[in-house]
């Protein structure tokens, strides 16, 4: 499916009852992840006969959904996750948003959905952040942006839908993990897998997460923060976490991370950290890493640190790993030195405190 090049004009229908400032600031005092939402949303519709149309910035509100809406039956849905930050000098910035726009297009292609032109994706995100800029927390928090698209045609036949809704909502967030900066504990599932070759692992579609929930619940049941998936073919190779990519820091100072072979999500944080590490003269090996190697390297000390990374979680040290056969610690069980450094380097750029030599930061004018 070709990306249309059409531009759209967003109609603005501001929320008549925005949350009062005092109430919003009170809610900001205890930010978690994904529970509080801003006043507006961006919406663009697509139909086979009209293409992209009816773009608007409007009050955040429920969608009327027909019970025969295709998404409710066949899960034709994709999404993105990105953040708007308020920098130390009070500018509003996005981080590599064009990468999210591009990945959204790739996810759409995999799910047989129309490809939203990247400029419309950017326009929707920017206009929403502009109108809801008061919702970007100061200090450590950020405004998490969730662009998504779903099949909205009323039809039960199994084929790509002929109507879709694209929408962006915004949620002020604090830390993803309840423990804050504390190293996380992972559960390695040897029962469930996330993605197979030829499947949808590299697409950011809701179905991948639906399939991961039972494994994530198993992780929580074992007192862990996140689940780790192994490959579907051999149940041997480490792939990624339920919602994050994974890195290993070896005792020769090099990094290892699973390669992008089509079954894991090509994380923008992953890509940024590989670049930052190489900028620092660190060797990064994108290569298969087995669960057996992981256990052996943690025991021998060849593995010094490990961390998870993603937009929501940023960079989180991995302290303990549990599995059906027992558990092991990585290093002293706390966030490691290089993990901390890479996190600070990344956050420094996102927050406008460090030089942005790769031009990753996208400032928003007029906010």
Residues binding ligand PLP (CB under 6 A)? 81, 240, 243-245, 265, 267-270, 310-311
CB 317 within 8 A of CB 329: no
81 is an interface residue for ligand COI by CB under 6 A: yes
Nearer to ligand PLP, 152 or 316 (CB): 316
CA distance 3 to 302: 47
Angle at 142 between CA 46 and CA 35, to 5 degrees: 70
265 binds, among ligand COI, ligand PLP, none (CB under 5 to 8 A by kind): ligand PLP
Angle at 92 between CA 11 and CA 32, to 5 degrees: 95
173 is an interface residue for ligand COI by CB under 6 A: no
Footprint (CB under 6 A) of ligand COI, residues 288-317: 310-312
240 binds, among ligand COI, ligand PLP, none (CB under 5 to 8 A by kind): ligand PLP
Nearer to ligand COI, 255 or 265 (CB): 265
CA distance 86 to 91: 6
User: What backbone torsions phi and psi does residue 339 show, to the nearest 5 degrees?
Assistant: -55, -50
Nearer to ligand COI, 45 or 270 (CB): 270
User: What backbone torsions phi and psi does residue 131 show, to the nearest 5 degrees?
Assistant: -70, -30
Specify the long-range contacts of residues 100-106, CB closer than 8 Å, at least 24 apart: 100/125, 100/147, 100/268, 103/204, 103/266, 103/268, 104/78, 104/80, 104/147, 104/149, 104/204, 105/3, 106/202, 106/203
320 binds, among ligand PLP, ligand COI, none (CB under 5 to 8 A by kind): none
Pattern of binders to ligand COI over 243-262, x per CB under 6 A?
Answer: x-------------------
268 binds, among ligand PLP, ligand COI, none (CB under 5 to 8 A by kind): ligand PLP
Nearer to ligand COI, 303 or 313 (CB): 313
Contacts with ligand COI, residue ranges (CB under 6 A)? 81, 243, 310-312
């Amino acid at each position: 499916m070709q990306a249309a090049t059409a531009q759209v004009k967003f109609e603005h229908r501001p929320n008549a009852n925005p949350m009062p400032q005092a109430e919003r600031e009170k809610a900001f005092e205890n930010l978690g992840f994904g529970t509080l939402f801003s006043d507006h949303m961006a919406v663009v519709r697509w139909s086979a006969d009209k293409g992209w149309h009816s773009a608007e910035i409007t009050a955040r509100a429920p969608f009327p959904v027909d019970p025969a809406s295709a998404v409710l039956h066949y899960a034709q849905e994709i999404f993105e996750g990105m953040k708007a930050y308020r920098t130390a000098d009070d500018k509003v910035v996005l981080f590599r948003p064009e990468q999210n726009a591009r990945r959204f297009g790739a996810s759409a292609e995999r799910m047989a959905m129309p490809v939203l032109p990247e400029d419309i994706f950017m326009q929707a995100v920017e206009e929403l952040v502009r109108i809801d800029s008061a919702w970007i927390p100061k200090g450590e928090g950020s405004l998490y942006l969730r662009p998504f698209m779903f099949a909205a045609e009323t039809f039960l036949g199994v084929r790509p839908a002929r109507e879709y809704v694209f929408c962006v909502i915004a949620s002020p967030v604090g830390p993803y993990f309840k423990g804050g900066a504390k190293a996380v504990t992972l559960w390695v599932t040897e029962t469930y897998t996330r993605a197979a070759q030829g499947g949808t692992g590299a697409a950011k579609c809701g179905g991948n997460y639906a399939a991961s929930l039972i494994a994530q619940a198993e992780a929580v049941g074992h007192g862990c923060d996140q689940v780790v998936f192994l490959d579907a073919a051999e149940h041997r190779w480490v792939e990624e976490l339920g919602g994050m990519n994974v890195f290993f820091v070896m005792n020769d100072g090099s990094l290892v991370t699973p390669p992008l072979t089509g079954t894991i999500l090509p994380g923008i944080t992953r890509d940024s950290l590989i670049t930052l590490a190489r900028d620092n003269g660190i060797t990064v090996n994108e290569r298969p890493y087995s669960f057996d190697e992981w256990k052996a390297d943690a025991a021998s000390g060849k593995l010094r640190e490990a961390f998870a990374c993603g937009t929501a979680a940023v960079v989180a040290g991995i302290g303990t790993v549990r599995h059906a056969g027992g558990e092991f610690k990585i290093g002293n069980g706390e966030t490691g030195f290089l993990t901390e450094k890479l996190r600070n380097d990344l956050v420094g750029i996102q927050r406008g405190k460090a030089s942005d030599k790769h031009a990753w930061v996208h400032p928003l004018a007029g906010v």
